[in-house]
Protein backbone atom coordinates (compact mmCIF):
# COMPACT_ATOMS: atom_id res chain seq x y z
CA UNK A 1 0.00 0.00 0.00
CA UNK A 2 2.81 2.37 0.82
CA UNK A 3 5.84 2.97 -1.34
CA UNK A 4 9.23 2.39 0.24
CA UNK A 5 10.65 5.78 1.24
CA UNK A 6 13.25 7.16 -1.15
CA UNK A 7 15.56 7.90 1.81
CA UNK A 8 15.54 4.25 2.73
CA UNK A 9 16.47 3.31 -0.82
CA UNK A 10 19.36 5.74 -0.72
CA UNK A 11 20.56 4.31 2.54
CA UNK A 12 20.37 0.81 1.13
CA UNK A 13 22.35 1.81 -1.92
CA UNK A 14 24.89 3.63 0.24
CA UNK A 15 25.29 0.63 2.49
CA UNK A 16 25.77 -1.65 -0.48
CA UNK A 17 28.36 0.69 -1.94
CA UNK A 18 30.30 0.82 1.32
CA UNK A 19 30.35 -2.96 1.49
CA UNK A 20 32.02 -3.06 -1.90
CA UNK A 21 34.62 -0.47 -0.90
CA UNK A 22 37.98 -1.56 0.47
CA UNK A 23 37.81 1.25 3.02
CA UNK A 24 34.83 3.16 4.34
CA UNK A 25 34.71 6.97 4.11
CA UNK A 26 35.14 7.10 7.90
CA UNK A 27 38.32 5.02 7.70
CA UNK A 28 39.68 7.15 4.86
CA UNK A 29 39.03 10.34 6.83
CA UNK A 30 40.65 8.78 9.89
CA UNK A 31 43.76 8.00 7.88
CA UNK A 32 43.93 11.50 6.40
CA UNK A 33 43.67 12.97 9.89
CA UNK A 34 46.48 10.71 11.10
CA UNK A 35 48.89 12.27 8.61
CA UNK A 36 47.66 15.85 8.37
CA UNK A 37 46.51 16.57 11.93
CA UNK A 38 48.11 13.99 14.21
CA UNK A 39 51.65 13.90 12.80
CA UNK A 40 51.75 10.18 11.99
CA UNK A 41 54.94 9.27 10.17
CA UNK A 42 57.43 6.56 9.46
CA UNK A 43 60.19 7.98 11.61
CA UNK A 44 62.94 6.08 9.85
CA UNK A 45 63.90 3.36 7.42
CA UNK A 46 67.27 2.05 8.51
CA UNK A 47 69.43 -0.17 6.32
CA UNK A 48 71.64 -2.49 8.35
CA UNK A 49 74.90 -3.42 6.61
CA UNK A 50 77.43 -6.01 7.78
CA UNK A 51 81.02 -4.80 7.55
CA UNK A 52 82.61 -7.96 8.95
CA UNK A 53 84.00 -8.81 5.51
CA UNK A 54 85.70 -5.40 5.36
CA UNK A 55 88.16 -6.11 8.18
CA UNK A 56 91.83 -5.88 7.21
CA UNK A 57 95.15 -5.58 9.01
CA UNK A 58 95.75 -2.46 6.90
CA UNK A 59 93.34 0.20 8.21
CA UNK A 60 93.44 2.12 4.89
CA UNK A 61 92.28 -0.96 2.99
CA UNK A 62 89.61 -1.63 5.62
CA UNK A 63 88.27 1.91 5.33
CA UNK A 64 88.18 1.69 1.53
CA UNK A 65 86.30 -1.62 1.70
CA UNK A 66 83.82 -0.10 4.18
CA UNK A 67 83.25 2.88 1.91
CA UNK A 68 82.77 0.74 -1.19
CA UNK A 69 80.32 -1.65 0.47
CA UNK A 70 78.18 1.02 2.11
CA UNK A 71 77.98 3.05 -1.10
CA UNK A 72 77.04 -0.04 -3.09
CA UNK A 73 74.42 -1.38 -0.66
CA UNK A 74 72.80 1.95 0.26
CA UNK A 75 73.23 3.80 -3.03
CA UNK A 76 69.48 3.86 -3.69
CA UNK A 77 68.26 4.08 -0.08
CA UNK A 78 67.30 7.76 -0.14
CA UNK A 79 65.72 7.56 -3.60
CA UNK A 80 63.65 4.50 -2.69
CA UNK A 81 62.47 6.22 0.49
CA UNK A 82 61.47 9.32 -1.44
CA UNK A 83 59.69 7.27 -4.11
CA UNK A 84 57.64 5.41 -1.49
CA UNK A 85 56.77 8.72 0.16
CA UNK A 86 55.39 10.07 -3.12
CA UNK A 87 53.55 6.92 -4.15
CA UNK A 88 51.94 6.11 -0.80
CA UNK A 89 51.67 9.61 0.63
CA UNK A 90 53.43 8.45 3.78
CA UNK A 91 56.00 10.81 5.37
CA UNK A 92 59.35 9.03 5.89
CA UNK A 93 61.26 11.46 8.06
CA UNK A 94 64.74 9.88 8.20
CA UNK A 95 66.74 7.54 6.00
CA UNK A 96 69.47 5.93 8.08
CA UNK A 97 72.20 3.28 8.03
CA UNK A 98 73.46 1.03 10.80
CA UNK A 99 76.67 -0.98 10.50
CA UNK A 100 78.54 -3.71 12.34
CA UNK A 101 80.07 -2.41 15.59
CA UNK A 102 83.26 -0.81 14.35
CA UNK A 103 85.32 -2.30 17.19
CA UNK A 104 84.70 -5.73 15.61
CA UNK A 105 85.88 -4.49 12.21
CA UNK A 106 88.79 -2.26 13.22
CA UNK A 107 90.12 -4.81 15.71
CA UNK A 108 91.81 -6.66 12.85
CA UNK A 109 94.07 -3.64 12.20
CA UNK A 110 97.00 -2.22 14.11
CA UNK A 111 95.43 1.26 14.25
CA UNK A 112 95.87 3.11 17.56
CA UNK A 113 92.83 5.31 16.94
CA UNK A 114 89.58 4.59 15.12
CA UNK A 115 88.72 8.20 14.31
CA UNK A 116 89.46 7.56 10.61
CA UNK A 117 86.89 4.74 10.61
CA UNK A 118 84.35 7.21 11.99
CA UNK A 119 85.25 9.76 9.31
CA UNK A 120 84.73 7.11 6.62
CA UNK A 121 81.22 6.47 7.94
CA UNK A 122 80.57 10.22 8.00
CA UNK A 123 81.76 10.56 4.41
CA UNK A 124 79.37 7.82 3.30
CA UNK A 125 76.45 9.49 5.08
CA UNK A 126 77.25 12.87 3.55
CA UNK A 127 77.55 11.54 -0.01
CA UNK A 128 74.44 9.36 0.24
CA UNK A 129 72.33 12.15 1.75
CA UNK A 130 71.20 10.10 4.73
CA UNK A 131 70.37 11.60 8.12
CA UNK A 132 72.40 9.40 10.49
CA UNK A 133 74.72 6.42 10.41
CA UNK A 134 75.07 4.31 13.55
CA UNK A 135 77.55 1.67 14.53
CA UNK A 136 80.63 3.39 15.90
CA UNK A 137 80.06 0.94 18.69
CA UNK A 138 81.55 -1.60 21.08
CA UNK A 139 80.02 -4.56 22.92
CA UNK A 140 81.71 -4.78 26.33
CA UNK A 141 79.06 -6.28 28.61
CA UNK A 142 81.45 -8.96 29.88
CA UNK A 143 84.89 -7.59 29.15
CA UNK A 144 86.86 -5.03 27.17
CA UNK A 145 89.16 -6.08 24.34
CA UNK A 146 92.04 -3.86 23.17
CA UNK A 147 89.93 -2.92 20.12
CA UNK A 148 86.97 -1.98 22.35
CA UNK A 149 89.25 0.24 24.45
CA UNK A 150 90.64 2.00 21.39
CA UNK A 151 87.15 2.66 20.06
CA UNK A 152 85.88 4.05 23.37
CA UNK A 153 88.97 6.26 23.68
CA UNK A 154 88.30 7.51 20.13
CA UNK A 155 84.68 8.54 20.80
CA UNK A 156 85.26 12.15 22.01
CA UNK A 157 87.35 13.17 18.98
CA UNK A 158 85.29 11.07 16.56
CA UNK A 159 81.95 12.66 17.50
CA UNK A 160 83.44 16.15 17.67
CA UNK A 161 84.86 15.93 14.14
CA UNK A 162 81.90 14.27 12.36
CA UNK A 163 78.30 15.30 11.74
CA UNK A 164 76.23 12.20 11.00
CA UNK A 165 77.83 9.37 12.99
CA UNK A 166 76.20 7.98 16.13
CA UNK A 167 78.01 5.91 18.73
CA UNK A 168 76.84 3.31 21.24
CA UNK A 169 78.41 1.03 23.83
CA UNK A 170 76.69 -1.95 25.46
CA UNK A 171 78.03 -2.39 29.01
CA UNK A 172 75.63 -4.91 30.53
CA UNK A 173 73.12 -7.68 29.92
CA UNK A 174 70.86 -9.98 31.87
CA UNK A 175 73.05 -12.96 30.92
CA UNK A 176 76.41 -11.44 31.82
CA UNK A 177 75.73 -8.76 34.47
CA UNK A 178 77.10 -5.22 34.38
CA UNK A 179 80.71 -4.45 33.48
CA UNK A 180 81.45 -1.77 36.07
CA UNK A 181 84.90 -1.09 34.58
CA UNK A 182 83.10 -0.14 31.37
CA UNK A 183 80.50 1.91 33.28
CA UNK A 184 83.30 3.92 34.92
CA UNK A 185 85.06 4.35 31.58
CA UNK A 186 81.88 5.55 29.85
CA UNK A 187 81.23 8.14 32.58
CA UNK A 188 84.67 9.57 31.81
CA UNK A 189 84.07 9.29 28.07
CA UNK A 190 80.79 11.21 28.26
CA UNK A 191 82.54 14.02 30.13
CA UNK A 192 85.39 14.06 27.60
CA UNK A 193 82.95 14.04 24.67
CA UNK A 194 81.02 17.01 26.05
CA UNK A 195 84.25 18.94 26.49
CA UNK A 196 85.61 18.01 23.04
CA UNK A 197 82.43 19.18 21.31
CA UNK A 198 81.63 22.25 23.43
CA UNK A 199 82.35 24.57 20.49
CA UNK A 200 80.51 22.40 17.94
CA UNK A 201 77.01 23.06 16.64
CA UNK A 202 75.73 19.89 18.38
CA UNK A 203 77.03 18.45 21.66
CA UNK A 204 78.66 15.12 20.78
CA UNK A 205 76.90 13.44 23.73
CA UNK A 206 73.59 13.80 21.89
CA UNK A 207 74.98 11.20 19.44
CA UNK A 208 76.26 8.81 22.13
CA UNK A 209 74.18 6.23 24.02
CA UNK A 210 75.20 3.60 26.58
CA UNK A 211 73.13 0.38 26.78
CA UNK A 212 72.22 -2.61 28.83
CA UNK A 213 70.68 -5.43 26.75
CA UNK A 214 71.18 -3.55 23.49
CA UNK A 215 69.07 -5.03 20.64
CA UNK A 216 70.91 -5.88 17.42
CA UNK A 217 68.09 -4.71 15.15
CA UNK A 218 67.14 -1.31 16.55
CA UNK A 219 66.43 1.24 13.77
CA UNK A 220 66.42 4.29 16.08
CA UNK A 221 69.42 6.52 16.74
CA UNK A 222 71.68 7.03 18.49
CA UNK A 223 71.71 3.37 19.52
CA UNK A 224 71.37 1.63 16.17
CA UNK A 225 74.02 -0.87 15.10
CA UNK A 226 73.92 -3.95 12.88
CA UNK A 227 74.45 -6.91 15.16
CA UNK A 228 76.91 -9.67 14.25
CA UNK A 229 74.03 -12.16 14.22
CA UNK A 230 72.20 -10.27 11.48
CA UNK A 231 72.06 -10.91 7.72
CA UNK A 232 74.45 -9.18 5.31
CA UNK A 233 71.94 -6.40 4.73
CA UNK A 234 68.42 -5.74 6.02
CA UNK A 235 65.82 -3.00 6.24
CA UNK A 236 64.46 -2.14 9.69
CA UNK A 237 61.65 0.37 10.08
CA UNK A 238 60.67 2.65 12.94
CA UNK A 239 57.10 3.96 13.05
CA UNK A 240 56.02 6.73 15.35
CA UNK A 241 52.60 8.13 16.14
CA UNK A 242 52.27 9.85 19.56
CA UNK A 243 49.83 12.34 18.03
CA UNK A 244 47.59 9.55 16.74
CA UNK A 245 47.56 7.81 20.12
CA UNK A 246 46.80 11.15 21.80
CA UNK A 247 43.81 11.64 19.50
CA UNK A 248 42.62 8.11 20.29
CA UNK A 249 42.92 8.77 24.03
CA UNK A 250 40.75 11.88 23.70
CA UNK A 251 37.93 9.72 22.38
CA UNK A 252 37.84 7.88 25.73
CA UNK A 253 37.79 10.86 28.08
CA UNK A 254 36.20 9.92 31.40
CA UNK A 255 35.87 6.22 30.52
CA UNK A 256 37.40 3.31 32.47
CA UNK A 257 41.12 2.60 31.99
CA UNK A 258 40.47 -0.78 30.36
CA UNK A 259 38.33 0.82 27.66
CA UNK A 260 41.00 3.44 27.04
CA UNK A 261 43.63 0.70 26.84
CA UNK A 262 41.61 -1.17 24.23
CA UNK A 263 41.31 1.99 22.13
CA UNK A 264 45.06 2.61 22.27
CA UNK A 265 45.76 -1.01 21.31
CA UNK A 266 43.49 -0.80 18.26
CA UNK A 267 45.17 2.40 17.09
CA UNK A 268 48.64 0.90 17.61
CA UNK A 269 47.56 -1.95 15.34
CA UNK A 270 46.67 0.48 12.54
CA UNK A 271 49.95 2.36 12.89
CA UNK A 272 51.94 -0.87 12.74
CA UNK A 273 50.25 -1.99 9.51
CA UNK A 274 51.48 1.20 7.90
CA UNK A 275 55.07 0.43 8.92
CA UNK A 276 54.75 -3.14 7.69
CA UNK A 277 53.69 -1.87 4.26
CA UNK A 278 56.55 0.62 4.00
CA UNK A 279 59.16 -1.81 5.31
CA UNK A 280 58.31 -4.68 2.99
CA UNK A 281 58.08 -2.36 0.01
CA UNK A 282 61.44 -0.70 0.76
CA UNK A 283 63.16 -4.05 1.30
CA UNK A 284 61.73 -5.42 -1.96
CA UNK A 285 62.88 -2.42 -4.01
CA UNK A 286 66.36 -2.47 -2.46
CA UNK A 287 66.73 -6.22 -2.90
CA UNK A 288 67.43 -6.95 0.77
CA UNK A 289 65.66 -8.77 3.58
CA UNK A 290 62.98 -7.07 5.67
CA UNK A 291 64.23 -7.25 9.23
CA UNK A 292 61.93 -5.85 11.90
CA UNK A 293 59.33 -3.21 12.52
CA UNK A 294 59.93 -1.11 15.62
CA UNK A 295 56.71 0.45 16.85
CA UNK A 296 57.89 3.10 19.26
CA UNK A 297 56.09 6.25 20.29
CA UNK A 298 59.03 8.49 19.44
CA UNK A 299 58.12 12.12 20.14
CA UNK A 300 59.46 15.32 18.61
CA UNK A 301 59.62 18.89 19.95
CA UNK A 302 56.57 19.74 17.79
CA UNK A 303 53.30 20.46 19.57
CA UNK A 304 50.94 17.49 19.24
CA UNK A 305 53.70 14.90 18.94
CA UNK A 306 54.37 14.24 22.62
CA UNK A 307 54.28 11.14 24.84
CA UNK A 308 53.99 13.36 27.93
CA UNK A 309 50.77 14.87 26.56
CA UNK A 310 49.30 11.36 26.18
CA UNK A 311 50.01 10.75 29.87
CA UNK A 312 48.27 14.02 30.71
CA UNK A 313 45.27 13.05 28.58
CA UNK A 314 45.03 9.80 30.56
CA UNK A 315 44.43 11.93 33.65
CA UNK A 316 47.69 13.36 35.00
CA UNK A 317 48.06 17.05 35.78
CA UNK A 318 51.69 16.90 34.70
CA UNK A 319 54.04 14.16 33.53
CA UNK A 320 55.92 12.96 36.61
CA UNK A 321 53.11 13.33 39.14
CA UNK A 322 51.83 10.29 41.12
CA UNK A 323 50.34 7.76 38.71
CA UNK A 324 52.78 8.51 35.89
CA UNK A 325 54.59 5.17 36.01
CA UNK A 326 51.29 3.24 36.05
CA UNK A 327 49.92 5.22 33.09
CA UNK A 328 53.15 4.76 31.14
CA UNK A 329 53.13 1.01 31.87
CA UNK A 330 49.66 0.70 30.41
CA UNK A 331 50.56 2.81 27.39
CA UNK A 332 53.70 0.81 26.60
CA UNK A 333 51.90 -2.51 27.01
CA UNK A 334 49.06 -1.54 24.70
CA UNK A 335 51.46 -0.32 22.06
CA UNK A 336 53.26 -3.67 22.17
CA UNK A 337 50.02 -5.70 22.11
CA UNK A 338 48.64 -3.77 19.17
CA UNK A 339 51.94 -4.02 17.33
CA UNK A 340 52.53 -7.75 17.63
CA UNK A 341 49.08 -8.48 16.21
CA UNK A 342 49.80 -6.33 13.16
CA UNK A 343 53.20 -7.73 12.21
CA UNK A 344 55.10 -10.96 12.71
CA UNK A 345 58.35 -9.00 12.66
CA UNK A 346 57.99 -6.56 15.54
CA UNK A 347 61.38 -6.00 17.20
CA UNK A 348 63.90 -3.36 18.14
CA UNK A 349 62.65 -1.39 21.14
CA UNK A 350 58.88 -1.04 20.51
CA UNK A 351 57.19 0.90 23.29
CA UNK A 352 57.21 4.51 24.42
CA UNK A 353 60.22 6.84 24.38
CA UNK A 354 60.58 9.51 27.04
CA UNK A 355 63.41 11.76 25.78
CA UNK A 356 63.31 15.09 27.55
CA UNK A 357 64.63 17.43 24.86
CA UNK A 358 62.69 15.71 22.05
CA UNK A 359 59.27 15.89 23.70
CA UNK A 360 57.41 19.19 24.02
CA UNK A 361 55.37 17.88 26.95
CA UNK A 362 58.46 16.59 28.79
CA UNK A 363 60.18 19.94 28.34
CA UNK A 364 57.15 21.62 29.89
CA UNK A 365 57.12 19.08 32.74
CA UNK A 366 60.73 19.93 33.59
CA UNK A 367 59.96 23.66 33.44
CA UNK A 368 56.98 23.39 35.77
CA UNK A 369 58.77 21.03 38.16
CA UNK A 370 56.41 18.04 37.86
CA UNK A 371 59.21 15.69 36.85
CA UNK A 372 62.76 15.09 38.07
CA UNK A 373 65.63 12.76 37.18
CA UNK A 374 64.64 10.20 39.81
CA UNK A 375 61.04 10.04 38.54
CA UNK A 376 62.32 9.59 35.00
CA UNK A 377 64.39 6.67 36.26
CA UNK A 378 61.27 5.11 37.78
CA UNK A 379 59.44 5.53 34.47
CA UNK A 380 62.20 3.67 32.63
CA UNK A 381 61.22 0.48 34.46
CA UNK A 382 58.14 0.24 32.27
CA UNK A 383 58.94 2.10 29.03
CA UNK A 384 60.98 0.95 26.07
CA UNK A 385 64.33 2.67 26.59
CA UNK A 386 65.78 4.74 29.42
CA UNK A 387 67.13 8.14 30.45
CA UNK A 388 67.19 9.84 27.08
CA UNK A 389 68.36 13.28 25.93
CA UNK A 390 68.72 14.69 29.42
CA UNK A 391 70.97 17.72 29.91
CA UNK A 392 72.85 17.85 33.22
CA UNK A 393 75.17 20.51 34.70
CA UNK A 394 78.55 20.71 33.01
CA UNK A 395 80.42 20.28 36.31
CA UNK A 396 78.76 16.93 37.12
CA UNK A 397 81.55 14.49 38.13
CA UNK A 398 82.22 11.54 35.83
CA UNK A 399 81.60 9.16 38.74
CA UNK A 400 78.12 10.63 39.28
CA UNK A 401 77.33 10.06 35.58
CA UNK A 402 78.57 6.48 35.96
CA UNK A 403 76.39 6.03 39.07
CA UNK A 404 73.28 7.21 37.22
CA UNK A 405 74.10 4.76 34.42
CA UNK A 406 74.70 1.90 36.86
CA UNK A 407 71.24 2.44 38.40
CA UNK A 408 69.63 2.44 34.98
CA UNK A 409 71.46 -0.68 33.82
CA UNK A 410 70.54 -2.53 37.00
CA UNK A 411 66.89 -1.94 36.04
CA UNK A 412 67.55 -3.40 32.60
CA UNK A 413 69.58 -6.34 33.85
CA UNK A 414 67.13 -7.44 36.54
CA UNK A 415 64.02 -6.92 34.42
CA UNK A 416 65.50 -8.49 31.26
CA UNK A 417 64.75 -5.39 29.19
CA UNK A 418 66.67 -2.81 27.22
CA UNK A 419 67.67 0.27 29.16
CA UNK A 420 69.87 3.07 27.89
CA UNK A 421 71.33 6.38 28.96
CA UNK A 422 71.94 9.46 26.83
CA UNK A 423 73.09 12.10 29.30
CA UNK A 424 74.45 15.38 28.03
CA UNK A 425 76.73 17.38 30.34
CA UNK A 426 76.34 21.02 29.30
CA UNK A 427 79.73 22.78 29.67
CA UNK A 428 79.43 26.05 31.55
CA UNK A 429 75.74 25.57 32.36
CA UNK A 430 73.99 24.88 35.65
CA UNK A 431 70.59 23.46 36.62
CA UNK A 432 67.77 25.54 35.16
CA UNK A 433 69.78 26.93 32.23
CA UNK A 434 68.58 26.21 28.70
CA UNK A 435 70.56 24.21 26.12
CA UNK A 436 69.58 23.96 22.46
CA UNK A 437 70.40 21.02 20.16
CA UNK A 438 68.25 21.85 17.14
CA UNK A 439 66.10 19.79 14.74
CA UNK A 440 64.66 16.51 16.01
CA UNK A 441 66.98 16.76 19.03
CA UNK A 442 65.20 19.90 20.28
CA UNK A 443 66.35 21.67 23.44
CA UNK A 444 65.64 21.51 27.17
CA UNK A 445 66.41 22.92 30.60
CA UNK A 446 69.44 21.51 32.40
CA UNK A 447 68.22 19.13 35.11
CA UNK A 448 69.79 18.96 38.58
CA UNK A 449 71.58 15.83 39.79
CA UNK A 450 72.32 14.60 43.31
CA UNK A 451 75.21 16.35 45.01
CA UNK A 452 76.05 13.25 47.02
CA UNK A 453 79.01 11.23 45.73
CA UNK A 454 79.11 7.59 44.59
CA UNK A 455 82.80 7.77 43.67
CA UNK A 456 83.94 5.02 46.06
CA UNK A 457 81.35 2.64 44.59
CA UNK A 458 82.24 3.39 40.98
CA UNK A 459 85.98 3.25 41.57
CA UNK A 460 85.71 -0.35 42.83
CA UNK A 461 85.39 -1.51 39.22
CA UNK A 462 84.84 -5.19 38.55
CA UNK A 463 81.52 -6.67 37.48
CA UNK A 464 78.05 -6.86 39.03
CA UNK A 465 77.12 -10.53 38.60
CA UNK A 466 74.15 -11.55 36.50
CA UNK A 467 70.89 -12.05 38.46
CA UNK A 468 69.79 -15.56 39.43
CA UNK A 469 66.98 -15.64 36.86
CA UNK A 470 69.55 -15.21 34.06
CA UNK A 471 70.49 -18.88 34.47
CA UNK A 472 68.02 -20.44 32.07
CA UNK A 473 70.29 -22.89 30.23
Q: What is the pLDDT of residues 229-261, one digit of tens each?
A: 899 999 999 887 788 888 888 888 889 999 999
How many residues are recorded in the chain? 473
**Per-residue pLDDT at 376:** 93
- Mean pLDDT across 202-208: 89
Please list, in sequence order, all residues whose beta carbon lies within 8 angstroms of the beta carbon of residue 226, skipping any fewer than 6 positions away.
Answer: 48, 49, 50, 51, 98, 99, 100, 135, 216, 234
- Mean pLDDT across 195-223: 89
**Per-residue pLDDT at 94:** 87
- For residue 4, is pLDDT > 50? no
Percent with pLDDT over 70 in the chain: 91
Half-sphere exposure of 280 (CA within 13 A, CB side): 10
**Per-residue pLDDT at 173:** 94
Range of the domain at 125: 48-212
Grade residue 25 by pLDDT with cuts at 50, 70 and 90: low
In a domain, residue 455? The reply is no
**CATH number of the domain bearing residue 56:** 3.20.70.20
In a domain, residue 409? The reply is no
Q: How far apart are CA 2 and CA 8, in angstroms?
A: 13
H or E element in which residue 148 lies = helix 146-160
**Per-residue pLDDT at 2:** 42
Q: How far apart are CA 185 and CA 279, in angstroms?
A: 37
Q: 3-class SS at 373?
A: helix
Q: Please calculate the CA angle 117-118-119 and round it to the nearest 5 degrees.
A: 90
Q: How far apart are CA 363 and CA 442, in angstroms?
A: 9
185 backbone dihedrals φ, ψ, rounded to 5°: -60, -40
Domain count, the chain: 1
- Longest CA–CA separation in the chain, Å: 98
**Smallest Cα–Cα separation from 74: which of 282, 263, 323?**
282
Task: Give the bridge partners for 352, in sequence order.
Answer: 297
Task: Please give the model's pTM, rounded to 2 decimal places.
Answer: 0.88
- For residue 16, is pLDDT > 50? no
Q: How far apart are CA 311 and CA 214, in angstroms?
A: 26
**Per-residue pLDDT at 22:** 52
- Mean pLDDT across 367-371: 91
Q: Are 314 and 331 in contact (CB under 8 A)?
A: yes
In a domain, residue 294? The reply is no
**Per-residue pLDDT at 21:** 43
**Per-residue pLDDT at 411:** 95
Q: Are 126 and 78 in contact (CB under 8 A)?
A: no
**Per-residue pLDDT at 384:** 78
Cis geometry, peptide bond prior to residue 222 (ω within 30 degrees of 0): yes
- For residue 369, is pLDDT > 60? yes
In a domain, residue 291? The reply is no
**Per-residue pLDDT at 20:** 44
144 backbone dihedrals φ, ψ, rounded to 5°: -115, 120
In a domain, residue 305? The reply is no
Chain-wide mean pLDDT for the chain?
Answer: 87
**Smallest Cα–Cα separation from 338: which of 278, 277, 257, 275?**
275
H or E element in which residue 122 lies = helix 115-128
**Per-residue pLDDT at 33:** 59
In a domain, residue 206? The reply is yes
Please list, in sequence order, all residues whose beta carbon lies within 8 angstroms of the beta carbon of residue 30, skipping any fewer than 6 positions away.
Answer: none
**Per-residue pLDDT at 19:** 46
Tens of pLDDT along 39-59?
677 888 999 999 999 999 999
In a domain, residue 345? The reply is no
Q: How far apart are CA 445 and CA 373, in angstroms?
A: 12
In a domain, residue 117? The reply is yes
Amino acid sequence: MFEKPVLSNNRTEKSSLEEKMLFTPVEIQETVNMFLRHKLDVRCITMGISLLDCADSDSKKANQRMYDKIMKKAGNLVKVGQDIEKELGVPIINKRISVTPIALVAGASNAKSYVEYCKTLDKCARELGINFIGGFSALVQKGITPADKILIDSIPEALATTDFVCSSVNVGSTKSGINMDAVKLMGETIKATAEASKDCAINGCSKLVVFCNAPEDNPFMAGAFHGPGEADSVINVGVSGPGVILAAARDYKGKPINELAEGIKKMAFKITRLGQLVGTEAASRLGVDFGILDLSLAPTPAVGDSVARILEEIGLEGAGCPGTTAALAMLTDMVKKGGVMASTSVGGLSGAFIPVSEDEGMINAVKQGSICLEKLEAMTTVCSVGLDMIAIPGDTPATTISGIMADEFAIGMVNNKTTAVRLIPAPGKKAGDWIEFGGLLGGCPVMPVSKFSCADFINRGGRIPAPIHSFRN
